[in-house]
Amino acid sequence: MIDIGSKSSAKTSVMSRGAMVDISLEQYNRIIEAIYNAPITDDWQALIEVLSEAMGGIHTQFFGYDMVAQRQVSLQCERYDPAMTEVYAAHYYDKNAWLPGISRSQIGKANYSESYCLTEELIKTEFFNDWIRPQEEIGGGGGIVLFNDGSRFVVLGGNIRFRDRDRKERQWIELLDMLAPHLRRAFQSWRALADAHLVGQGYQEALDRSGYAVFLLSSDGRVLHSNRSAEKLSAGGDLFHLDAFRSLRTFDPRANEMIVGVLAALRAGLAGRVPDVFPICDKEHRQPHVAMILPFPSGSETTGELSGLRDNAMAAAMLIVKDPSRRSLAGAHLLASLFGLTPAETVLATALADGLSLKAYAEQRSLSIHTVRNQLQSVFSKTATSRQSELVRLLERFGGR
């Protein structure tokens, strides 16, 4: 739930999950819009720009790193000196003292830069003295990991001058935590279409090759477009059906309520209330498919690439469902990215799917049974399961065995 302070003031406090962030409602809405535009337009630069502006001009970045190859795989920055960005890309990307700490961080949880590398250790490094210090000692701040498959990670972060830590750092971390579920959803959707974007395919082909069933919905729930995987799910008659007005319905009442509620929120301009991933059960009540809804930016250039939109209606939302018949993108890492499992939780889930008992797993990994049980409870919580058998069936849906 998001509460807004006095609307009469130029600057209002946005509160979510008990955290207070001193930004205006207009700024918050611009951030949410930029988050959900990013996977559609492949433009994360706009997001880090609006984040930097909202937080008074802090240095923001979106980057990926391959830990095996020890190479940078992406870098977008805001407020950094372009010359220093070039120096970083050429000489310091593999000397970044925060990288080891970032690689061990939980997906979807904001962390202070101090948790990545203690300040007393940071200031001893070449990275600090030759790259951070010349930029007004921007050694504070923190970031949030959006993806980590054990060999590569992607992080959205911000750097703050040491002298501004007391004033800005906590606000920055609270803002990232507030935005965490939206950032995760947007990044998951971006990954689903990333391969197609990289090879320059059209949007229609991107949807068909993504490995997901995708429905574009109008604000009143009518299907304006569906890719081939979505058409197959509808034709099967076990999960979805369309009424005479092409309104999408499932055989799961809770999922129908979720979809209707999301569309109502979007009509009211409340994109910030879009839920995280949710299950859709078929009419036999077997293990559910996993779905999520992404607000679709009306007026985007992408919309023009779509043929077959009916009645000139604009798409309001993208419903994305994992198609269990497609196993090419399957596996534990997909499960991890969808539900935000840590690397340790991913390894545990995979071991259980392979038939290993908790006791055997604990012995194999030299862990206490208490630690393993705590990890399992965290996996249950994130995947909305309550028993090992349910978890194993869910992993099987993603081809994890």
pLDDT digits (tens, 9 = 90+) for 109-140: 999 999 999 999 999 999 999 999 999 999 99
Q: Model-level pTM?
A: 0.55
As a three-state string, the secondary structure of 171-226 is HHHHHHHHHHHHHHHHHHHHHHHHHHHHCCCCHHHHHHHCCEEEEEECCCCEEEEE
Position with higher pLDDT, 193 vs 366: 366
Q: Which residue has the tokens 């949710």?
A: 278
315 in Cβ contact with 309 (< 8 Å) = yes
Residue 195: which pLDDT band, with cuts at 50, 70 and 90? very low
80 in Cβ contact with 166 (< 8 Å) = no
Position with higher pLDDT, 162 vs 344: 162
Q: What percent of the chain has pLDDT over 70?
A: 75
Nearest one of 260, 321, 266, 269 to 295, comparing CA atoms: 266
Distance, CA of 258 to CA of 279 (rounded, Å): 10
- CB hemisphere CA count around 209 (13 angstroms): 14
Strand partners, 141: 159
Distance, CA of 152 to CA of 117 (rounded, Å): 19
Which pair of tokens denotes residue 350?
Answer: 């995979």
Residue 156: which pLDDT band, with cuts at 50, 70 and 90? very high
Q: Rounded mean pLDDT of 322-339?
A: 53
Whole-number pLDDT of residue 15: 53
39 in Cβ contact with 189 (< 8 Å) = yes
Q: Rounded mean pLDDT of 335-353?
A: 74
12-16, 85-89, 336-340: lowest mean pLDDT where?
A: 12-16
Domains annotated for the chain, with CATH where assigned, are 2-198 (3.30.450.80), 203-322 (3.30.450.20), 332-397 (1.10.10.10)
pLDDT for residue 273 is more than 50? yes
Nearest one of 279, 316, 314 to 394, comparing CA atoms: 279
Whole-number pLDDT of residue 337: 60
Q: Rounded mean pLDDT of 41-54?
A: 87
The DSSP result for 376-396, as a single string, is HHHHHHHHT--SHHHHHHHHH
Per DSSP, 272 falls in state G
Strand partners, 223: 217
Give how far the C-alpha of residue 182 lies from the chain's centroid of Cα atoms, to the nearest Å. Answer: 6
Strand partners, 241: 249
Q: Rounded mean pLDDT of 265-272?
A: 72
Q: Could you tell me if residue 350 is left (phi over 0), alpha (psi between -120 and 50 degrees) or otherwise beta?
A: alpha
Distance, CA of 401 to CA of 392 (rounded, Å): 9
The mean of the pLDDT values for the chain is 77
pLDDT for residue 203 is more than 80? no
Whole-number pLDDT of residue 336: 65
Which are the contacts of 231, defined by CB distance < 8 A and separation ≥ 6?
none
278 in Cβ contact with 285 (< 8 Å) = no
Max intra-chain CA distance, the chain: 68
Position with higher pLDDT, 127 vs 390: 127
228 in Cβ contact with 208 (< 8 Å) = yes
CA distances from 168 to 22, 29, 97, 132, 154 (A): 10, 20, 22, 18, 23
- CB hemisphere CA count around 263 (13 angstroms): 22
Give how far the C-alpha of residue 93 lies from the chain's centroid of Cα atoms, to the nearest Å. Answer: 23
Q: Which residue has the tokens 């950032």?
A: 183
Which pair of tokens denotes residue 328?
Answer: 């090419």
Nearest one of 154, 158, 190 to 174, comparing CA atoms: 158
Residue 140 in 3-state DSSP? strand
121-135, 255-269, 343-357: lowest mean pLDDT where?
A: 343-357
Whole-number pLDDT of residue 22: 84
